[in-house]
Amino acid sequence: MGAVPVSPTPPAGAPRFDLPEIDAFTRPYWDAAAEGRLLIRRCADCGRAHHYPREFCPYCWSEEVVWEEASGAATLYTWSVVHRNDLPPFGARVPYTAAVVDLAEGPRMMTELIETPVGGPCVGMRLRVAFRATEGEVPVVPVFRPLPA
């Protein structure tokens, strides 16, 4: 029997699992990303920043949260190189580096690490946000790349 591709390229019109549905609340986040800006939310009551965007503070439950532009600076907290993923369109991108980064403003963010150095990623590596083009209603998604040494 011949080899069967583990993660074939999805057919046109196949469901996607990598892009969110934009709603009225998240529209400012995605509009800013399309302009090359990363937004986070900050609580006006306790002062803590958080990500992913929520309509309330996950620390004190206040609804007094506002959008704030993040610096785009981060450090690598952890990562995993994904060699197999059968959900479209991830299978066509393997291997890729899934990562969790600590934003300079405090929150942790799940993302993808791009342009990984030859020696591989390392915890504490300094990173900068970048934006990868996509298709459909979400024009770009935030990813991170290492800063030059």
- pTM, entire model: 0.84
Asked if 112 contacts 98 with a C-beta cutoff of 8 angstroms, the reply is yes
pLDDT in tens, 27-83: 999 999 999 999 999 999 999 999 999 999 999 999 999 999 999 999 999 999 999
Contact at 8 Å (CB) between 65 and 42? Answer: yes
Edge-to-edge strands, sheet with 65-69: 49-50, 39-43, 65-69
**What pLDDT sits at residue 24?**
94
Contact between residue 53 and residue 22 where contact means Cβ atoms under 8 Å apart: no
